[in-house]
């Protein structure tokens, strides 16, 4: 299996599990009238089915079957989006974690499609991932991992100023959040601001003595415009480093509740 997909798979599963901790609060935002709506059970089942297909996509990706992974991820996207459409038609509140699930599914699909060389399609999924994630944040801006994931998606597409802002927002909500600290150290190092980079890095190193050194920026592939950085590859390398220190947990099964 290609390294990029495996590394970002670990990153995504870690983020999805952390965000899933908020699912009960989001679920409780559905008032009693919505809960009594006859369409609610069907919508929730549609959403659960989408999350289950996303988990199957992760399993296929881990097993190296990228074609099957793409099929499962695309089916997950379709099922989750259908649940959202039905909710809108039925006047049922859509909680923030559902938007996050849609974002996560698009990001997962983009990751695998990029590995297989489906660049334009992958970029479309990345943009849709960011759109759905922004909707989740608009509904609830207090979930730290939404901002961590936003920073990661923005970094993947090369929007470094917005990625930095997202990671800084995560740290305002949780000053000890390690992923954001490392990413900010890396981003500052990438643009030559070593004073800021070292501040973030050494602060985190006090809590994680085995913290790896920041990896170099991945060079652009042959034929790319001069100076263009392959940020999907670069983000993969950083994610791989972090995973060795902080581990990876969870997956779509942690999001299976409307």
pLDDT in tens, 115-172: 888 878 888 999 999 999 999 999 999 999 899 989 989 988 889 899 999 999 999 9
* CB 4, CB 237: distance < 8 Å: no
Which tens digit of pLDDT belongs to each residue from 164-213?
999 999 999 999 888 899 899 989 988 888 899 889 988 888 888 877 77
**The predicted structure's pLDDT at residue 240:** 65
Q: Long-range contacts: 66-75, Cβ < 8 Å, 24+?
A: 66/1, 66/2, 66/5, 66/112, 66/115, 66/116, 67/116, 69/108, 69/112, 70/109, 70/112, 70/113, 70/116, 73/105, 73/108, 73/109, 73/112, 74/109, 75/50
**The predicted structure's pLDDT at residue 244:** 67
Domain ranges of the chain: 3-255
Residue 183: other Cβ atoms inside 10 A: 26
**The predicted structure's pLDDT at residue 39:** 84
Spell out the residues 6+ positions from residue 78 whose beta carbon is closer than 8 angstroms to its own.
50
Who wins on pLDDT, 243 or 57? Answer: 57
**The predicted structure's pLDDT at residue 33:** 54
Angle between the N-to-C axes of helices 144-156 and 231-246, in degrees from 0 to 180, rounded to the nearest 10: 140
* CB 232, CB 2: distance < 8 Å: no
**The predicted structure's pLDDT at residue 25:** 33
Residue 220 has pLDDT above 50, yes or no: no
Query: Vertex 8, ends 111 and 116: CA angle to 5°?
Result: 30
**The predicted structure's pLDDT at residue 89:** 92
**The predicted structure's pLDDT at residue 171:** 95
Task: Select from 3.40.47.10, 1.25.40.10, 1.10.3720.10, 3.90.1580.10 the CATH code of 3-255.
Answer: 1.25.40.10
**The predicted structure's pLDDT at residue 177:** 87
**The predicted structure's pLDDT at residue 222:** 40
Q: Long-range contacts: 116-123, Cβ < 8 Å, 24+?
A: 116/66, 116/67, 116/70, 123/157
**The predicted structure's pLDDT at residue 145:** 87
**The predicted structure's pLDDT at residue 257:** 54
Which tens digit of pLDDT belongs to each residue from 12-71?
554 454 444 333 234 434 555 555 677 888 888 899 899 889 989 988 988 999 999 999
**The predicted structure's pLDDT at residue 224:** 39
Q: What is the DSSP string of 117-132?
A: T-HHHHHHHHHHHHHH
Q: Long-range contacts: 245-250, Cβ < 8 Å, 24+?
A: 245/178, 245/208, 245/210, 245/211, 245/212, 246/14, 246/178, 246/179, 246/208, 247/14, 248/10, 248/11, 248/13, 248/14, 249/13, 249/14, 249/17, 249/18, 250/13, 250/14, 250/16, 250/17, 250/18, 250/20
Q: Coil, strand or helix: which one is 63?
A: coil
Residue 105: other Cβ atoms inside 10 A: 33
**The predicted structure's pLDDT at residue 37:** 72
Residue 235 has pLDDT above 60, yes or no: yes
Tokens of 117: 């060389």
Which tens digit of pLDDT belongs to each residue from 80-111?
999 999 999 988 889 898 999 999 999 889 88
DSSP 8-state code for residue 206: T
Distance CA(178)–CA(184), nearest Å, equals 10
């Amino acid at each position: 299996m290609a390294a990029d997909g495996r590394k970002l798979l670990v990153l995504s599963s870690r983020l999805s599990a952390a965000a899933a901790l908020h699912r009960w609060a989001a679920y409780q935002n559905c008032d009693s009238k919505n809960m009594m709506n006859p369409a609610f059970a069907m919508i929730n089942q549609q959403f659960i089915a989408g999350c289950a297909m996303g988990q199957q996509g992760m399993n296929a990706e881990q097993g190296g079957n990228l074609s099957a992974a793409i099929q499962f991820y695309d089916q997950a996207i379709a099922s989750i989006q259908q649940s959202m459409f039905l909710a809108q038609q039925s006047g049922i509140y859509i909680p923030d974690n559902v938007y996050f699930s849609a974002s996560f599914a698009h990001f997962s699909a983009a990751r695998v499609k990029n590995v297989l060389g489906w660049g334009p399609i992958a970029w479309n999924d990345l943009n849709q991932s960011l759109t759905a994630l922004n909707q989740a944040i608009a509904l609830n801006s207090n979930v730290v991992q939404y901002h961590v994931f936003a920073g990661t998606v923005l970094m993947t597409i090369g929007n470094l100023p917005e990625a930095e802002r997202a990671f800084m927002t995560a740290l305002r909500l949780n000053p000890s959040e390690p992923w954001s600290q490392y990413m900010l150290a890396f981003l500052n190092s990438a643009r030559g601001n070593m004073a800021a980079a070292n501040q973030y890095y050494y602060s985190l190193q006090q809590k994680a003595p085995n913290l790896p050194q920041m990896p170099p920026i991945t060079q652009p592939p042959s034929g790319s415009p001069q100076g263009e950085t392959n940020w999907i590859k670069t983000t993969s390398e950083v994610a791989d480093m972090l995973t060795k220190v902080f581990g990876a947990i969870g997956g779509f099964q942690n999001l299976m509740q409307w």
